[in-house]
Amino acid sequence: MEEVRVFPLTCAVQNYAWGKVGLDSEVAKLVVGGDPLAVVEVGKPYAELWMGAHPKGDAQIKDNRIAQTTLGQWIAHFPACLGSKVKDTFQGQLPFLFKVLSVNTALSIQAHPNRELAIRLHAQFPEHYPDNNHKPEMAIALTRFQGLCGFRTVEEILGFLKSVPEFHALVGNEAAEELRCSAGDAVRTSQALKKCFTRMMNCEKKVFVDQLNMLVKRVTEEGAAGKDTSSSNGDLLLRLHSQYPGDIGCFSIYFLNHMVLDPGQAMFLGANEPHAYLCGDCIECMACSDNTVRAGLTPKYIDVNTLCEMLNYSPASASSKLFPCVQDASDPCVTLYDPPVPDFTVMRIQVPASVKQYTVVPVDSASILLVIEGDASATSAAALSDITLRRGTVLFISANESISLHITSQSGMSMFRACCLL
């Protein structure tokens, strides 16, 4: 029988504690949309939807004509589906993991190692660093999405050192003064910033807990008295402290940019970039790895020394951390998010209500397509039968295959597609 090369997937859900609960979660809504028989439990968090072939969440194939049960098994049998360049470059593996995240409480402050560091960490501490790959990642907001990303400008950090005495106490006079005197010299600034951050992260627990309690008490009292607490980043501080009381990560808001993304806006997190997701729903795409070096806002293992050594201490404005997307020259419905790494590219496909026939064009890479809004009937020579697309449908598309959509919804369609454009 002719092999089926385009097929729907049932994807793994991760119920991490930080996820949005029940049908408040975009992940849960997509799961139910894609499979009306799926049961969503009321009090359960639905944090991540994993669309890919990662061993911790390999997608199930939803086509009983296919002998293999998971996407990973199928790719192992038919590696040509990846496209010849992708297959050769990434040793017959799908190079990316595509996700939807629904964030209710903050994820840990973290960074991901580059390839060289990943190889070293995996060899030394395999229990904490499970593979030897880098993990660049990109988040694209589905709803209003908040996160921390990269070091703030020196002016902003100095401003907080001045207006938040509890923060200054952890960094210390000497390091704060070095940062103040480094203005205009990028190398000195980077060294001074590293010293400030390392001092704070290595504070004795009793010292930082006392300072944090004093800070929270002061900001709470000022807020109750109707004072503006923005010079202490009061609202965000109290929110994080309520989620992670007594955690050193609460002070990181004075070092890192607070990002607020509107739907469609993105941030790219390259190697060694400190970041944390705070709240909201997003599409995420990353290299296929699970390596994370944590620094706070977490009950998990914190590797302070590795983190402080590896970080990219380049101060920059929040606006410069927004990742620019570009209109596809050949298709007005497609916006490209093409990061400076070879592992993945994401396309946002928005088909207007006036268009009823649309072609998902072939690319020289396996790709995964997620339907966010809209309904269509999909035909492809590689599917051998029609596939119904609706909110939550996930399709695997082999390299160099196209799909014709006959759109039945009144308001058009919104989709995201991950692939590898070498």
Task: List active site positions.
Answer: 294
- 62: tokens are 């939803």
Q: 279: closest CA among 232, 242, 316?
A: 242
Assign residue 22 a region (left: φ > 0; alpha: ψ between -120 and 50; beta: otherwise). left
Residue 154: count of CB within 10 angstroms of its CB = 17
Q: CA geometry: angle at 337 spanning 150 and 122, to 5°?
A: 55
- 118: tokens are 């990943």
Residue 114: count of CB within 10 angstroms of its CB = 15
**236 membership: H or E segment, kind and range:** helix 234-243
Longest dimension (CA), the chain: 75
Distances (CA, A) of 366 to 66, 212, 354: 17, 49, 29
Q: 291: closest CA among 422, 116, 145?
A: 116
Q: How far is CA 138 from the centre of its chain?
A: 5
